[in-house]
């Protein structure tokens, strides 16, 4: 009887270790950020884009905005004005009070 209890305890400890390792692997495998939604506005002066981004890791990394901007430009080209809204969960995108922060980038000028 005592041996069965010890085996059951070892089994649960082993399951806990495997589960913890699996979750750690999943956390590091997931992308640092992903684009959730985008709205593009065009007028005579150029193109303005509001981009919602879900940040899964490194929320307060200073280089994060540069990486998001590079990825966006590689996919969609250079807008005149890019507004990036950072969220930490896709469930709260519609609730704007829970944003991490909003970044407005207007460095790019219209080149004809």
Q: What is the pLDDT of residue 111?
A: 39
Query: Is residue 111, in this structure, part of any structural domain at all?
Result: no
Q: Higher pLDDT residue, 103 or 112?
A: 103
What confidence tens digit (pLDDT) does each residue in 15-56 have? 999 988 887 776 666 678 878 888 888 887 778 888 888 887
Average of pLDDT values for 98-108?
A: 62
Query: Is residue 71, in this structure, part of any structural domain at all?
Result: yes
What confidence tens digit (pLDDT) does each residue in 47-62 have? 888 888 888 777 777 7
Does 42 lie in the same domain as 21? Answer: no
Does 25 lie in the same domain as 38? Answer: no
Does 68 lie in the same domain as 53? Answer: yes
Domain of residue 42 covers: 33-105
Query: Is residue 112, in this structure, part of any structural domain at all?
Result: no
Does 24 lie in the same domain as 78? Answer: no
* Long-range CB contact pairs, 86-92, < 8 A, 24+: 86/53, 86/55, 86/59, 87/36, 87/52, 87/53, 87/54, 87/55, 88/54, 88/55, 88/56, 88/59, 89/54, 90/36, 90/54
Does 66 lie in the same domain as 86? Answer: yes
């Amino acid at each position: 009887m005592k041996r069965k209890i010890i085996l059951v305890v070892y089994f649960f400890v082993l399951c806990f270790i495997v589960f913890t390792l699996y979750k750690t692997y999943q956390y590091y495998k997931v992308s640092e950020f992903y684009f959730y939604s985008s709205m593009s506005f065009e007028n005579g002066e150029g193109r303005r884009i509001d981009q919602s981004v879900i940040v899964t890791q490194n929320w307060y990394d200073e280089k994060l905005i540069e990486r998001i901007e590079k990825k966006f430009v590689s996919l969609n080209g250079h807008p005149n004005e890019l507004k990036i809204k950072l969220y930490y969960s896709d469930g709260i995108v519609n609730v704007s009070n829970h944003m991490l922060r909003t970044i407005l980038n207007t460095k790019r000028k219209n080149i004809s």
